[in-house]
Structure 1
Amino acid sequence: MAAAASLTEPHVLAQTKAQLFPEDDADSYVVADTQFAQDRWVDDQPIASAVKSRLAPFNHVRVGSGYPDLVGVRRLDSDYLAVDRLGEEPPLVAIEAKGHVGGTVDVERGIVQAYDRLHEANVAFVSAPETAITATDRTLARQLNVGVLGVTDHGNIEVLERPRIVGNRTADEATAIRFQASAQGVADQNFSLNHPKNYLAVPLAVYHDRDARTLIDEHVVSAVEGAFRGASFLGLVDERGAGYCLTSLGQEVVRFALREYPSVSAALAAFEQWQGSPKRFLDVAPRWGQLTRQVVFDYPATELLVTELQTMHDDGLPAPSLVDLVQWLHAQHPTFTVELFLRGDDDVRQRALTADGELRPEILQSGAAYHSPTVFQLKAMLYHAGILTERGSEPSNLDPAADEWALCEPLARGR
């Protein structure tokens, strides 16, 4: 068991994450600040590898005027909140941790920092060794609507003050964490299949009166579960119990098919001719390709990529490499760039990011640093839709310095 004096900030934060964001909760996502990915803590104490492993993945996310120690999205248990808010969107949670540094624990400073995060977060906590939290600290936290979590010597968490959820709008950087926690996030997911036809067929199969999975297997692709998972990422279907239902975007796909074919059955049969085709989908099926363009542009990451690639074109970089693109994006949208492009496992982010969240450029030269759902599957879909000039590559086959990310149809500058 850890002695009270050994409860440094990294230890406190690791225990807090383990309880508030359990690993078996698939509907949540959380990152620790990049300062905890380093080898040593502020008072030159080493950060144990087991602690870093528990805190990973890392990112430097601005919320309010600073960078919380932990920021994530999860529907918290009622034990942690003053008011139960069931049925609403999961809150953006910011946590400031305080531990023993030179024999002291500055809990008051942590409370003030957590209060600042409430300008953009929905709920904020300070977490500290339980024995260091005073009655005065708890009174201040209640006044500021900051939750207080006490970490015991045995590593348990005691909820000392429960905050209310507030309805603040999250800023651009925190929105990246919401994206990862959504059904469309790429954190622990994978598009699995790199051709958009496999996903466009799913709404047709769901709408059909026969078994949807059987229809996909017969007419489209044998990797049925991958097709359904990708259709969910693209916002075409929503999982409901053991089955799926159409979203409004999925309904539009069905309407399109019924304009083009006499029935949904005929539309699904048409998909058989495209199985195994290496050609760009826009070229072999132009109208379906245009529909694909609309669908993938509705995916949250696409608009960001297209907007910034157009800006790079305007600034004289018409065909940037993957390395160029990631460095450019990180300067404009650091949190989203890290979440979208860099793997969260195998200590990639520990090696790629400094304590202040800056990129180490040398890491970007290795294909193994990149997230496959973005550089392979998403890029391949953008290629098939006629948005990008080149298809994607698996990280194992990727040369980031030569991997081109260029728009097929860049606009003239100033128009």
Structure 2
Amino acid sequence: MTKTTGITWAAASARRFERQFLAMPARTDTSVADVAAAMLGVHAQVLSAAELSVGLRADGVTRADVRGALWPAASPTAPPPPPSSPPSPSLVKTHGPRGTVHLLPARDLPMWCAALPAVPHGTAAPSADVRLTEEQARQVVTAIAAALDGAFLTIDELGEEVVARTGPWAGDLVMPAFQTMWPRWRQVMHRAGQCGALSFGPNRGRRVTYTRPPHFTPLPPEEASRLLVRRYLYAYGPAPPRHFARWLAAPPAWATARFAELAAAGEIEEVRFEGTPAWVTVGDTAFPDAPERHELVRGVRLLPYFDAYVIAAQPRELLFPGAAYRRALAGGQAGNFPVLLVDGVVAGVWHQRRRGRRTTVTVEPLVPLTARGERELAERVEGVGAVLEAEAELVIGEVTVGAHA
């Protein structure tokens, strides 16, 4: 490892790969929550993709292990708990960065549930006849937390509880959604998730359930925001404030102010990254030596929908070079396609279609693969099958499935 202030894309990529368990899978004594913490949250809009994001980074981890960390009481491998002490989850599925569904380590909720509500909103408020007042929003979040404490409720069951605990106004059908109308209270579900009042439970058949995550004491908001910046820079730095803002869907000016506060406090320091100013946590300026950099990123890897590395690693034009920028992004947005990485950059897309215990993985490379690369790709596809507890078959050809919404 060398210390430098003139950091290249190759050096940053190698260190990010190492810290993200992409260079070498996590050891068997590394918990699922540890992997999720290193990623700074696992995007879980598609749960099977979240299971892959974790499983492909950890030896021997399958989707059952991820679900067992989320819902240990529902895990078929978990020992029956004493009646008075149900097992606590080490992972929580809830609304995380960008308001989207993530798997977050339960131990990190004091940071997330203080930092996320402190991020200014950039979206326009609903019209006056739809939106909740601030007092009504607080009442709904309190009602959600009380209703879900120790319970697993479907959306309809939760709605009945919220209306009973607040008033008929919460159940007014005023929100247009998916060719129907939703009740007024649902506009703050993401807020309830981000402040620790709501998380997702295991499905009841095909119906989603909700529960309350383990109780915790949030950090002071200012402390939580500064900690989140430092955690981000450790995982994905070097980075300027605008990259942090893009990852978090925060106003750039707000992010710039947070960076300035940490710089003034001596907690982060400025470096040169690809010739432009960027930041790392103070003293964290060691990067892999040139020969080691190649070894850390060399080879092929498959990353699923919305993988944290694909979304957070910047600059995006260097991660998605040439044809990859046109093929593997959706209007400049990362994550909408599962991607093939070759030597650390996006070089293709892929898709898997499952039928029972078998899954077909179609990979569309955008660069020629060597014989060694094709053999390694076949091994990676086997790894996808292992995580999903399926027998996987590789097909190299065009991916005809469009971008995920």
Please report the TM-score for the alignment, with normalisation by the length of structure 2: 0.26
Structure (1/2) with the larger strand percentage: 2
| TM-score calculated relative to the size of structure 1 | 0.25
Q: Which has the higher contact order (CA 8 A, sep 6+)?
A: 2
